[in-house]
Homo-oligomer: A and B are copies of this chain.
Amino acid sequence: MATASRVFGKPAMVGPDTTAKVRNAAAALGYVANPTARALATGSSGLLGLIVPDLSSPYFATLISAIQTEIEGRGFELIVSDSRGVPETEHEIVQRLQGRVDGLILASPRNTDSVLISIARRLPIVTVNRELPGIDSVSIDVSDGLADLCRFLLDHGHQRIAYIGGPPGSLADDGRFQSVEAAMEAGNGTALRIGPVQPNAQAGAETLSAIQLSNVSAVIAYNALVAHGLMLAAVSEGLNVPRDLTVTAVDDLIDIGLSLPTVTAITQPMTEVGQKSAGIILALISGSHEELQQRPPHQAQHLVLSASLSVNKS
């Protein structure tokens, strides 16, 4: 019985012939190790949790895909959950998953710093697009990409542009507007702020009237969905995009092969973000005894990947 356990757990500690016998017997009986019992005995479940604000978004679909690919073969499975961008819901999910998973990846978390820090005390976590003291994270820096984008727009004669922000409650939103505003003003331009709005095409379409009233020639949207919705609305109103209105976005759908025409976007390396965050959480779990406990809180690592400008010809 113990030998059987070792054959699957520590193959090195058992004789070759015995191993063969056990494996044959296992195959004959259709035996498969019970992960639940193993989890109870070892204290770790082989489960990782991922919480995102919107499961249906292609932005996070790419992230999920990358994380799942990364942990596959390392003996881990991925549990996904959707917080709908609500801080309370996000926290409830953490409670549910607590004790069920070995670690948690929080993508674009909506909770306050203190809540997140208290979560990190109970469970290994990695945050995506949110940097906090003592918590490992992977973020994408869009400020350079935004500055590039603003210069690109200024070069093409757009002095007065609008920034459509969103979603409500997103800390990234403020930072993005500030980047845009600074870059525009550095080029003697102006950036108007519209929103925040929900990050979907419908909400983007609904900003059209405000855009038209504001008399801008170009728009930078929070993400490609918003941009696309706005573009569709503009086109169906008879506007020529990009001649009458240039639509650009921070986010993009390039990962799924959907680089939108007439929309210049900023590429975010979501696959790499997924790989990095998965790698970190696995390292945290494995080395939790040595590293995690000893390492002073302020030594958490923050990986920052850069977004880059992707210019469409049209």
Instruction: Write the residues of chain A forming the contact surface with B, with a CB cutoff of 8 angstroms.
Output: 32-37, 39-40, 45, 47, 54-58, 60-62, 64-65, 68-69, 72, 77-82, 95-100, 200-202, 225, 228-229, 232, 235-236, 253, 255-259, 261, 313-314
Closest to A235 in B: B261
CA distance A33 to B98 in the complex (A): 10
CB distance from A197 to the nearest CB of B (A): 12
Q: Are A68 and B82 neighbours in the complex by a CB distance under 8 Å?
A: yes
Q: State whether A32 and B77 are in contact (beta carbons under 8 Å apart), knowing that A56-B62, A255-B56 are contacts in the complex.
A: no
In the complex, chain B residues whose CB is within 8 Å of the CB of A58: 56, 58, 61, 256
Q: State whether A228 and B258 are in contact (beta carbons under 8 Å apart), knowing that A34-B99, A35-B100 are contacts in the complex.
A: yes
CB distance from A84 to the nearest CB of B (A): 9
CA distance A45 to B45 in the complex (A): 12
In the complex, chain B residues whose CB is within 8 Å of the CB of A60: 61
CB distance from A218 to the nearest CB of B (A): 19
In the complex, chain B residues whose CB is within 8 Å of the CB of A65: 54-56, 82
CA distance A58 to B62 in the complex (A): 9
The count of identical subunits is: 2
Q: Are A64 and B68 neighbours in the complex by a CB distance under 8 Å?
A: no
Other CB < 8 Å A-B pairs besides A56-B62, A56-B65, A228-B257, 6 of them? A32-B99, A36-B39, A55-B65, A61-B64, A68-B80, A253-B258
Q: Are B32 and A36 neighbours in the complex by a CB distance under 8 Å?
A: no
CA distance A82 to B40 in the complex (A): 27
Q: Are A81 and B82 neighbours in the complex by a CB distance under 8 Å?
A: no
Q: State whether A256 and B56 are in contact (beta carbons under 8 Å apart), knowing that A40-B40, A99-B32 are contacts in the complex.
A: yes
In the complex, chain B residues whose CB is within 8 Å of the CB of A96: 77
Closest to A84 in B: B69
**CB-defined A-B contacts under 8 Å, sample of 29:** A32-B98, A32-B99, A34-B40, A35-B100, A36-B39, A36-B40, A36-B99, A56-B58, A56-B61, A56-B62, A57-B61, A58-B61, A58-B256, A60-B61, A61-B61, A65-B82, A68-B82, A77-B96, A77-B97, A77-B100, A79-B79, A201-B256, A201-B257, A225-B257, A228-B257, A229-B257, A232-B261, A235-B261, A253-B258
